[in-house]
């Protein structure tokens, strides 16, 4: 999960699966998008999906910094699967898993999507360099 406005130059590519130009914030997200493009279980996906600030007010704030609720966040991937289900994937680098702020942002995302009845929420952990990942 990242802010809706990236501090980096976005990476754009043409998605065959979505039949449109797609933008992602990081190289790790691009690596994961390539995995989704090649997956027969994925019908389509969206990147940088903004979280609705109105729903953030309905999420429990326990254990999450109050200032996180004041920022416009976006989840990395919203996925429509071949079986009709919806999945959410958040990308994070392994070394960021020790940062309390990053863990709180992931928990905010999890609570948000749970509130919208999406249970298939997972974190994709990218190894340094973006060549390896763990789901």
Angle at 70 (CA atoms; ends 6, 128), nearest 5 degrees: 40
Query: What is the second-level CATH architecture of the domain 2-134?
Result: 3-Layer(aba) Sandwich (3.40)
What local confidence, expressed as pLDDT, does residue 102 receive?
A: 92
For 57-108, what is each residue's pLDDT tens digit? 889 999 999 998 888 899 999 999 999 999 999 999 888 888 999 999 999 9
50: β partners: 74
Classify strands 86-93 and 120-126 as parallel, antiparallel or unpaired.
parallel
Contact between 33 and 15 (Cβ < 8 Å): yes
Contact between 128 and 94 (Cβ < 8 Å): yes
What local confidence, expressed as pLDDT, does residue 106 receive?
A: 95
Query: pLDDT: is 71 or 128 the higher one?
Result: 71
Contact between 36 and 43 (Cβ < 8 Å): no
Contact between 75 and 47 (Cβ < 8 Å): no
Q: pLDDT band for position 126 (50/70/90)? A: confident
What local confidence, expressed as pLDDT, does residue 6 receive?
A: 61
Polymer length of the chain: 135
Query: pLDDT: is 24 or 3 the higher one?
Result: 24
Give the single-character DSSP code of 70.
Answer: G
For 3-23, what is each residue's pLDDT tens digit? 766 666 889 999 999 999 999
Gap between the Cα atoms of 75 and 39, Å rounded? 20
Overall average pLDDT of the 35-55 stretch: 94
**What is the domain partition of the chain in residue ranges?**
2-134
What string of DSSP letters covers 90-133?
A: EEEEGGGGG-HHHHHHHHHHHHHHHHTT--EEEEEEEPTTSS-E
Q: pLDDT band for position 128 (50/70/90)? A: low
Query: pLDDT: is 57 or 35 the higher one?
Result: 35
């Amino acid at each position: 999960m990242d802010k809706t406005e990236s501090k980096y130059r976005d990476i754009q590519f043409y998605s065959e699966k979505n039949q449109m130009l797609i933008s992602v914030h990081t190289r790790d997200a691009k690596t994961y998008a390539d995995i989704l493009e090649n997956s027969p279980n994925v019908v389509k996906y969206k990147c940088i999906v903004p979280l609705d600030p109105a729903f953030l007010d309905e999420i429990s704030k326990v254990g999450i910094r109050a200032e996180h609720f004041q920022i416009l966040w976006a989840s990395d991937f919203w996925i429509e699967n071949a079986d009709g289900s919806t999945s959410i994937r958040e990308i994070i680098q392994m070394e960021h898993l020790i940062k309390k702020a990053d863990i709180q942002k992931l928990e905010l995302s999890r609570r948000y999507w749970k509130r919208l009845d999406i249970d298939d929420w997972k974190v994709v952990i990218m190894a340094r360099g973006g060549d390896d990942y763990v789901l």
